[in-house]
Amino acid sequence: MAGREPSTKSNGVRRKPARGFRGRPSLLRRVFIASVGLVNVGKHPEMGIADLMVEASVGALSALPDAAPDRVVVGNMFSGVGCGQEHLGALLSSSLGYQGIPAYKVEAACGSGGAAAHNAYLSVKAGESDCVLVTGVEKMTDLDTAKVTSALAMADSQEYTASVGATFISLNAVTHRLYLSRHGVPKEDMAAFPVMAHRNALSSKHAMFHKAVTAEDVLSSPVMSDPIRLLDSSPVCDGAASLVLVSEEMARKVSSPLVEILASEVAANIFSIYERPDPLEYAATKAAFRRAVDRSGVRPEKLDFLEPHDAFSITSALSLESMGLSPAGRAPAEAAKGRFALDGDLPIGTFGGLKARGHPVGASGTYQLAEAYMQLAGRAGPNQVSGAKVGMTQNMGGVDTTTAVHILASAN
């Protein structure tokens, strides 16, 4: 197959040689996504956690017949309580027929997928790996609702949050109420986020939901933890998404479209919302975003789309605002006016996001990155953001307790 030079110019972003943090020249290498593989998100009683991982991984690897991963990184939040299975790194590498390579799981609650991709990125960047398989996976539907609720609460303090009765939804619900009252936001505007997510998912093949909803549907859906309603919340589901990250040298040998990871940043916040000076401040998102912008040299107004962590309507609003992509208290109104729609100024959740594509928690970060790849490779079908050259993903564990931000650009 014809070799190809990954471009430094055509994405319109990197006209200078790679620069390290704070502008220091970087001796480190460039990192590309060479292919992705997705399991359709949903309830998969027929598939165990290994089946999910293998299906996504084989999907990603089949586009690269000559590539053999020299490292396997799994992103996952709660396979131990979810299906009694840990040791996912070796389970996946062994299932794919590999022996002797590094293989392990990375965990950061719902931010596990983004953190796993970050770990793989570092390895390629540092020259330790040339080809890394990253697979995010979560198997949630073996558990009943009460057990899933307990499992998700592990993202926050077991001893001072979960054990006194608070759930993960309830943490987001208190921020939702505080946000509405602080900024005087009408609840109808908040409903714009799920309405938009469901609209984008209609034509998204791998999404869980293919059903449009109206603001009225959202506001009359059952109350989970007020003011959060069922349709403000991402669903319980199963899924796995894989990425193959390659070095520049390896990138020259593959024929699939290439997307460069211009920045991969992770930041951790003060653990629980009640320990923070302002429970509405997403300081981890802010820090990871700021570093990613600095490192990539991409100005935020140049982003063609964003895959935010829209686990709840409130997390969409606070994520956009903490990155300065919307003024404080304005994101819901801007959403209601269509600014974040597929044909808007800054499309978000382009395949339905966590809300409507689905949120298999430890896999969501890798779904976001796979979707960003599809957009930047021009393979997003009916969900294509026209002319997409640069995009960003933001994946949170807990209520912005650990956040991974990636900035990506098409490299073909």
Partner 1 sequence: MDGVRYGRLGERYREMLGSRCPSCGAEYFPPVRVCRRCGGRGTKDHPMPREGRLVSFTVLNVASAEFQGEAPMAIGLIELENGVKVMAQVVDVPPSSLREGMKVTMVARPLTKADGAFLCYKFVPAG
157 is a contact residue toward partner 1 (CB under 8 A): yes
Q: How far apart are CA 250 and CA 331, in angstroms?
A: 41
Contacts of 405 (CB under 8 A, 6+ apart): 114, 263, 264, 265, 266, 285, 288, 289, 291, 292, 392, 393, 394, 395
Q: How far apart are CA 84 and CA 304, in angstroms?
A: 41
Strands 390-397, 305-307: pairing is parallel
Q: How far is the CB of 118 from partner 1 (least distance, A)?
A: 25
The one-letter amino acid at 245: L
Q: Which is nearer to partner 1, 2 or 164 (CB)?
A: 164
Q: How far is the CB of 114 from partner 1 (least distance, A)?
A: 25
Query: Which spans in 108-207 are helix H?
Result: 112-125, 145-152, 168-183, 187-190, 192-201
| Adjacent-strand bridge partners of 74 | 105, 135
Of 110, 131, 206, 237, the active-site residue reads: 110
Alpha-carbon 14 to chain mean position: 24
Q: How far is the CB of 317 from partner 1 (least distance, A)?
A: 15
Q: Which is nearer to partner 1, 36 or 171 (CB)?
A: 171
Q: Which is nearer to partner 1, 182 or 379 (CB)?
A: 182
Q: How far apart are CA 165 and CA 211, in angstroms?
A: 33
Q: Which of 46, 159, 301, 343 binds partner 1 (CB under 8 A)?
A: 159
Q: How far is the CB of 329 from partner 1 (least distance, A)?
A: 16
Which residues, numbered 256-295, are part of the site for partner 1 (CB under 8 A)? 270, 272-275, 279
Options 57-65, 162-170, 345-353, 380-388: segment touching partner 1 (CB under 8 A): 162-170
Q: Which is nearer to partner 1, 35 or 161 (CB)?
A: 161
150 is a contact residue toward partner 1 (CB under 8 A): yes
Q: How far apart are CA 79 and CA 213, in angstroms?
A: 32
Q: Which of 76, 129, 167, 256 binds partner 1 (CB under 8 A)?
A: 167
322 is a contact residue toward partner 1 (CB under 8 A): no
Q: How far apart are CA 106 and CA 365, in angstroms?
A: 12
Q: Can you tell me which residue has the tokens 């998204």?
A: 204
Which residues, numbered 217-256, are part of the site for partner 1 (CB under 8 A)? 222-228
178 is a contact residue toward partner 1 (CB under 8 A): yes
Q: Which is nearer to partner 1, 144 or 343 (CB)?
A: 144
> What SS3 class is residue 155?
helix
Active site residue 83: no
Q: Which is nearer to partner 1, 245 or 273 (CB)?
A: 273
Indicate left, alpha or beta for 88 from its phi (over 0: left) and psi (-120 to 50: alpha).
alpha
Q: Which is nearer to partner 1, 41 or 152 (CB)?
A: 152
| Adjacent-strand bridge partners of 104 | 73
Q: Which of 2, 9, 146, 184 binds partner 1 (CB under 8 A)?
A: 146
Active site residue 44: no
User: How many CA atoms, within 13 angstroms, populate the side-chain half-sphere of residue 282?
Assistant: 33
Of 44, 206, 359, 406, the active-site residue reads: 359
Query: Quick one: tokens of 374?
Result: 């599809």
Options 26-34, 119-127, 164-172, 261-269: segment touching partner 1 (CB under 8 A): 164-172
Q: How far is the CB of 149 from partner 1 (least distance, A)?
A: 4
The binding track of 56-85 with respect to partner 1, each residue x by CB under 8 A or -, is: ------------------------------
162 is a contact residue toward partner 1 (CB under 8 A): yes
Contact present, 300 and 320 (Cβ < 8 Å): no
Q: How far apart are CA 341 and CA 131, in angstroms?
A: 35
**Positions marked catalytic:** 110, 359
The site for partner 1 (CB under 8 A) is made up of 145-147, 149-150, 153, 157, 159-167, 169-171, 173-175, 177-178, 181, 222-228, 270, 272-275, 279
